[in-house]
């Protein structure tokens, strides 16, 4: 693989943006990761009154899947991601959940700590 392609993909896997690299990473997140996100929500045994946090929610597939488990209870879904592109993507995908007050997500940064 050409070095510039590797660099473009690496940059967008770390922090998805606009352009060809961002488009390809979004396709990967939506395609390959969706089965994993769905299975993960099932395996975590989410109950209706649980609050769920997903760090690095990408396009919001895992949050939407978690919502299926909490929608009839008092639970809520929360997400944090470093990419404004993913925030915009997830906002559209989770419009209903956000509108009824069951979901929220935001831009954030995670910093490594030595503590």
**Mean of per-residue pLDDT scores for the chain:** 77
Rounded distance between C-alpha atoms, residue 98 and residue 92, angstroms: 10
- For residue 114, the model assigns a pLDDT of 47
Q: Where are the domains of the chain?
A: 33-107
Tokens at 81, concatenated: 């991601």
Q: Does domain 33-107 have CATH number 3.40.50.720?
A: no
pLDDT grade for 39, boundaries at 50, 70 and 90: very high
pLDDT tens per residue across span 70-96:
999 999 888 888 778 778 888 888 888
- For residue 96, the model assigns a pLDDT of 85
Q: Are strands 52-55 and 103-107 parallel, antiparallel or unpaired?
A: unpaired
- For residue 111, the model assigns a pLDDT of 46
**6-20, 69-83, 90-104: which range is least confident on average?**
6-20
Q: Per-residue pLDDT averaged across 9-24, rounded?
A: 62
pLDDT at 15 over 70: no
Higher pLDDT, 55 or 115: 55
Q: How many other C-beta atoms lie within 10 A of the C-beta of residue 41? A: 21
The residue assigned the tokens 């929220």 is 104
Q: Per-residue pLDDT averaged across 37-48, rounded?
A: 93
């Amino acid at each position: 693989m050409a070095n510039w392609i590797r660099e473009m993909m690496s940059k967008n896997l770390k922090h998805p943006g606009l352009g060809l690299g961002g488009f390809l990473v979004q396709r990967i997140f939506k395609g390959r990761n969706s089965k994993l996100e769905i299975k993960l929500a099932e395996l975590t045994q989410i109950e209706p009154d649980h609050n769920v946090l997903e760090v690095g929610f990408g396009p919001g597939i895992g949050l939407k899947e978690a919502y299926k488990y909490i929608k009839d209870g008092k639970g809520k879904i929360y997400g944090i991601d470093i990419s404004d592109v993913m925030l915009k993507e997830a906002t559209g995908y989770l419009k209903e959940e956000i509108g009824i007050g069951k979901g929220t997500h935001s831009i954030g940064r995670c910093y490594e700590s030595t503590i």
